[in-house]
Structure 1
Amino acid sequence: MLRFMFVGDSMTIGSAGEHTWRYRLWQHLRDSHGRPFTFVGPRETLHDPSTDEPVSYSYADPDFPRAHLAGWGEGWHHMTPLIGETVRSCRADVLLVSLGLIDLGFYTNAEQTAANVRAFVAAARSANPRIRIAVMPVLHNIRVDADETFAEQVAHFNELLAKTAADLDDPGAPLLFVPPPPAYDFHTDTYDGTHPNESGEHRIAGAFAEALHEEWGLGGPYTAAS
């Protein structure tokens, strides 16, 4: 059984009442993958806006493997120290990673964030030398439009992330740069300028699904389940 693990920030953990793009990808893989798989990770909850804590199980549809390693306000800065032991304990085979917005907004610049990416990859590979890692760049959001300095850091980090993926890619432990959803627009694909709504969930899931299919032969072309 192939064991996928999501590693992400608030866009990946989701909030109470949401499906999440994790759910959308599960639907897709369920219908197209053709071999047993599951999602693994030490966490299962959603973010609860009423308490500002990750304590909610109120998924719009809870009937899917909800395990993950994602957190509201967490980035490469937070996940890098955790990833080695988490890969080891959860026996993850594939990491689906969407991080960076929090780092660039609050903790590290583009170069420092890229250094954390390298440390993250090294730690994951130390736990599983054949781990596959798919990474998505930081998506365009409302702050990118409003803050020129932040926009420059996001663009620079995304360039560094693509270069890091190319530099560290290995046939035995592939590192895949996932192109951002081509039609993603924070005006219509988020509910607040950052966090995905239903269409945004499908676009993010679709971007990962297409990359997994085209590069690694996992699943098939993305078709949004009803």
Structure 2
Amino acid sequence: MDSPSSPIILTPPSSPPSPPPLDSLNLDHAPPKPLRILILGDSMTQGQEGDYTWRYRLWHWLSTQSLARPVVFVGPYTGTMTPNPVSPLPDPNINASGGYALDADSEFDSRHCSGWGWAAWQMKGMVQDLVTNWNPDLVLCMLGFNDMGWNVSDAAGTLESIRDIVLNARKVSPRIDFAVANVPQRRKMDGREDLIVQTGLCNAGLEAVVKLLGTRESKVHLVRLREGYACGPDSCEGGYDGLHPNTLGEWQIARAFSKALVEGFGLGERVLEVPRVIPKRVLPVPMGLRVRCVKGKVIGNWERVYGAYGYDIQHGRSTDKKLHDGVAILNQWESDWIPTAGVYEVRIRSQAGEVEKSEWTAIESVSARGMVFEDG
């Protein structure tokens, strides 16, 4: 016969420890709230696929400074412009799915609100929603060129739009601070001598506008970008096309903003220094060039090069004394109609503006017999 089981003894559950009284908590060691920075800009701020961007250089500089509060970049977008966007675009107003330089720090806090073609007159209508949604403490604004460059407005109208960006942001957040950049001068364009004059007038007026806008509760500091960016009517060492920043220009723009942050807001101990030696952009030679004749045209295809803004093409008949020059944005090119028979030659290279180029590919050729073509 089985022995009786041991009696079950019920014990009340132990009570959880009582929380300490609120007045005993040491709140001095609570982590400070991050400083939220919203960057507003156009193509010079967003950049193209494969760029570092001046935003990256500024972020990296901030990460080296001893700051009382951590810094985070905020905004609806994270990417650069890519030549091969997905279709349809997630946001029809912007192409922002491009990446950054391959060796950029993967921790880069890349949020922003900038896009190709954007202007101050557009941003003044967007900024209230942006401030509501992203709650920035500090706004970095680099806008105004497209207002005058695309003949949307003159200097006075551009100044009004920049002023309204600040005033409209304050409707949501009265204590928000601003660092506002003056407008870069681009290399002189034929027929647009007025742009040089209007940009100069805008920058002169911006000095006064910034002083009038600043208050004790909401600082507004001028970023002297024009003075620090090596681009002007006569030359543009800092740009790859007479306006948009190359690798040197990215450093120079970031330095201008860092100077404003140190001097205007006490953010950072020392201004960013531009390196004496700027490494060249890595641009591989395009691979897989294939040339063929289709319906009276020579067509070339090749593998896309990450970080290339486009491709230089040289093409012509083998009997020509000199090949003809062409360009392509995407990794495909086609000729005009070919009226005569012959052997046609093509070679390509990747490019990131007027100076930075890869080496040429080997020449690829295709044969044509009159208007009857053979695949090459």
* TM class by smaller structure: over 0.9
Separation of aligned partners in 1, 2:183 and 2:167:
21
CA contact (8 A) 1:16 1:58 kept: yes
The answer to whether 1:205 aligns with 2:238 is no
Paired residue secondary structure (1:54) = coil
Relative contact order: is structure 1 or structure 2 higher (C-alpha 8 Å, sep ≥ 6)?
A: 1
AA aligned opposite 1:47: M
Please show how residues 1-226 of structure 1 align to structure 2 within 5 Å. Answer: 1-34=34-67, 35-51=69-85, 54-60=95-101, 61=104, 62-106=106-150, 107-143=152-188, 147-180=192-225, 182-186=227-231, 187-224=236-273
The change in CA–CA distance for 1:33 and 1:135 in structure 2 (over 3 A counts) is farther
More moved, 30-39 vs 72-81: 30-39
The change in CA–CA distance for 1:198 and 1:162 in structure 2 (over 3 A counts) is same
AA aligned opposite 2:143: L
AA aligned opposite 1:201: E
Indicate the structure with greater strand content. Answer: 2
Where has structure 1 moved over 4 Å in runs of 4 or more?
Answer: 50-53
Percent of pairs with identical residues: 35
CA contact (8 A) 1:144 1:151 kept: no
Q: Give, in angstroms, the shift of residue 111 of structure 1.
A: 1.0
Q: Give, in angstroms, the shift of residue 184 of structure 1.
A: 2.5
More moved, 196-205 vs 52-61: 52-61
The change in CA–CA distance for 1:76 and 1:101 in structure 2 (over 3 A counts) is same
Q: Give, in angstroms, the shift of residue 223 of structure 1.
A: 3.2
Q: Give, in angstroms, the shift of residue 169 of structure 1.
A: 0.9
CA contact (8 A) 2:144 2:162 kept: no
Paired residue secondary structure (1:97) = strand
Paired residue secondary structure (1:38) = strand
Separation of aligned partners in 2, 1:50 and 1:161:
37
AA aligned opposite 1:21: W
AA aligned opposite 1:148: E
Q: Tell me the alpha carbon deviations over residues 178-210 of structure 1, each in whole angstroms, 9 at most, x when there is no partner.
A: 112645222211111111111111111111101
The change in CA–CA distance for 1:213 and 1:183 in structure 2 (over 3 A counts) is closer
The change in CA–CA distance for 1:56 and 1:99 in structure 2 (over 3 A counts) is same
Q: Give, in angstroms, the shift of residue 20 of structure 1.
A: 0.4
Q: Give, in angstroms, the shift of residue 43 of structure 1.
A: 1.2
Q: Give, in angstroms, the shift of residue 140 of structure 1.
A: 1.8
Indicate the structure with greater helix content. Answer: 1
CA contact (8 A) 2:39 2:112 kept: yes
Separation of aligned partners in 2, 1:42 and 1:154:
29
Q: Give, in angstroms, the shift of residue 55 of structure 1.
A: 3.4
| Structure 2: runs of 5 or more not aligned | 1-33, 87-93, 276-376
Q: Which has the larger radius of gyration?
A: 2
The change in CA–CA distance for 1:50 and 1:167 in structure 2 (over 3 A counts) is same
The change in CA–CA distance for 1:116 and 1:181 in structure 2 (over 3 A counts) is closer
TM-score, length basis structure 2: 0.57
> How many corresponding residue pairs?
226
Q: Tell me the alpha carbon deviations over residues 114-145 of structure 1, each in whole angstroms, 9 at most, x when there is no partner.
A: 11122111111111111100111111211478
Paired residue secondary structure (2:64) = helix
AA aligned opposite 1:125: R
AA aligned opposite 1:94: L
AA aligned opposite 1:49: P
Separation of aligned partners in 1, 2:62 and 2:191:
36
Q: Give, in angstroms, the shift of residue 57 of structure 1.
A: 3.2
Separation of aligned partners in 2, 1:104 and 1:26:
29
